Structure formats: structure tokens, C-alpha cells
Amino acid sequence: RGLFKWLAGDHSGHFLAFTTRTVMETMATYGDALTALNDTKMVGPSYIILGGVAAGEGAVITREEALSLHLWTIKNNLRHKDFYVLQTNYDNWVKAPFFDDRRDPAMKCMDAMGPSGVGFPNLFNVLSHEPNLNLLTTYTTLMDVKRGHFEAYRQACKTHPCAP
């Protein structure tokens, strides 16, 4: 709907990729970036995952074109896990479908890992095993905002059958 409006001349919505780049280039703090990404009118729906450099700075913003539907931060984590927020392909406040539940297995892995285990190798392991790795997975990117470092991997499920 938002893209059709934009094509018809209503340019009040912003494209997520361009907005994210602008925010990362111009906002000095996590709080400023969070506000901008949460409040800016977009062209279409999205999940925006934002991390900061300080403990407790992490959020998932669930957007529709005109507004934010849900802001889930580490600080207001409804699951009372104070070291992560986790987003898969479904709204985080709705039960994942039985045929594609990647959220619950990933949360189980994160809980077992604990805050002291968080690092690229362990996060990569969570994202690189079924059911999180599935036939629709094309790549995995790990980012460390504080160090300004990221690693990206092309992924493919090598076992068969592979869900979904």
C-alpha cells in the first residue's frame, strides 16, 4: 500500500534502507537513533533491529508504514531476560506458527548461553543450526557496534530434509 502511494506521488513515507543509512550517519546516540527509526513514516512494513554500544541498548521495532506497532527493548523485555531481544519472521508478541517456529529454539539456546557466552562464535551457532537455519536462509550477519566490526556469511541448509 505504501509503495503504491509513493509511486502515485505521496512521498511522505521514507524507504527503510535510506532512512537507516541516514540515521546511522547522523544520529550521535542510540536513543536518538531509536527515536528516529521508531517515529519516521516509512513506505512499508518492517522489523528494525537496533543495537547500541552500552549494556541494555538493544531493540526490535515492528513497523507498519505510518507508525510503530510495537517497540520491544532489552529494558522492557516482557520475557524478563535482560540480555537480549530476539526477532524471527513473526511478530514477537504472537505465537510462532507450529510449522516454522524458530523463535522458541533460538530463545532456548540464548537462555542456555547466558550473558557471559554472548559472542560471535556462539551467536553464529544459534543462527546456523536448524530450525533457525532453513531452506529460506540466504545469509547471516553478525555485528558488533562497539568495535565497528561485522561478519557476513552466505548460508545454505545442507541437510535434507531441511525445514520448512
φ/ψ of residue 117, rounded to 5: -90, -5
Q: Indicate the average pLDDT of the chain.
A: 90
φ/ψ of residue 62, rounded to 5: -100, 115
Q: How far apart are CA 125 and CA 7, in angstroms?
A: 42
Q: Supply the pTM of this predicted model.
A: 0.86
Cα–Cα distances in angstroms (integers) from residue 91 to residues 12, 32, 35, 122, 132, in the given order: 25, 24, 20, 24, 16
> Comparing C-alpha atoms, which of 107, 47, 49 is closest to residue 83?
107
| pLDDT at residue number 157 | 84
Positions in the chain short of pLDDT 70: 78-82, 163-164
| pLDDT at residue number 75 | 84
| pLDDT at residue number 83 | 84
